[in-house]
Amino acid sequence: MGLVRILLPLPRAAAKWAPEKGGPLLGAALSSCVTPSWAGLPPPSPARRLAWAEEAVEVYRSTADAEGLSRALALRAHALLLSGRYEEACTAAIAVPEASWALTAFAGDVRAQALAGVGRAEEAVSVAQACVEAYRRLSAPDRRDRVLGSLPGALRTYGMLLAAVGRSEESVAVYEECAALLAAMSLRELAHVELVRPQALAELVGVLRVLGRYGDALGVGPEAREALRGPLAWSVPEIVLPLRVRLLIDLARCHTATGDPAEARACAVAAVAEARKPHGAGELTSALDCLAELRDS
């Protein structure tokens, strides 16, 4: 996809001088640029991704490619979500035509996350559940659709939302199904869902802690910590670092609950160290509070 970004001037020129053939070519190139990247590739900024998506929509509106337009509209909704423009993302996701089960499911996942972003978690739960069912109907999505979204990704969204509305036991079951599906995937398949595994495992630890299942949470902890290392740590630090800090705080509190103050302190100190890094700063107060609680106990 990086090569496609570099070569964008070529399809732009083709669209200008031969719109009938160059338009669809440019639309496909722009959609490729916006599509979630493979493992290890630093993603473009949300602003750039949104600009490409907007351009793709405009290009496809001038062609007869209805499927391409639907895909571009779905990618635009996703780009709005990544930009934090949740209300617009929700509206854009609803407007995506039902061109295929894969696009419908992808747009549903975007809408569910956007609803959560504006504080409408209860409404988002039913949307996320429908999205999961849509992905279950996809027995063998084609290559273009596999990079849009997946059943594990939809399950992770559903589990997150169930936890947000207090349905923690159900959330754990959903997260565990997600983790089992990810564990059965090949490396090639995992490349399309690289962020789902660390998100699901770290969030599962948090829900287990809330339920008082400290031993189970500590059992998942090492796998969750390992999932947050490697290429993801430098390719998307704005996502990985806050997750890592929250995970370490959860583990610290689980160790405290199970009578291991030394491990609890080690996790809390590590959480503060991670939170002092630029992309972890939003979690610094929580990390310091956790460490202070251990010092006072």
Q: For the chain, give every domain's residue range.
A: 223-297
Say how far apart CA 52 and CA 154 lie, in whole Å: 25
Look at residue 39 in the predicted model and tell me its pLDDT: 47
Interacting residues of 56 by C-beta distance below 8 A, sequence separation 6+? 27, 30, 31, 34, 72, 75, 76
Question: In the numeric block, which tokens belong to residue 29?
Answer: 């190139």
Two tokens, residue 202: 């770290």
For residue 16, give the nearest of 6, 7, 26 by alpha carbon. 26
Identify the pLDDT of residue 29. 73
The rounded radius of gyration (Å) of the Cα atoms in the chain is 21
Contacts of 35 (CB under 8 A, 6+ apart): 1, 75, 147, 148
pLDDT for 187: 81
- CA 92 – CA 222 distance, rounded (Å): 39
- Positive or negative, the Cα torsion across 186, 187, 188, 192? positive
Average pLDDT per consecutive 10 residues, the chain (297 residues; last block may be shorter):
53 60 67 63 80 86 85 92 94 89 91 96 96 85 70 96 97 97 86 88 97 97 92 85 96 96 96 93 94 84
Placement of tokens 């509305």 in the chain: 165
Q: How far apart are CA 159 and CA 207, in angstroms?
A: 10
What per-residue confidence (pLDDT) applies to 11?
Answer: 57
Question: What are the angstrom distances between the C-alpha of 270 and each of 90, 261, 287?
Answer: 37, 14, 9
pTM to 2 decimal places: 0.88
The tokens 């829900």 sit on which residue?
A: 207
Residue 219 structure tokens: 């059992």
CA-nearest of 181, 170, 252, 249 to 211 is 170
For residue 147, give the 3-state DSSP assignment: coil
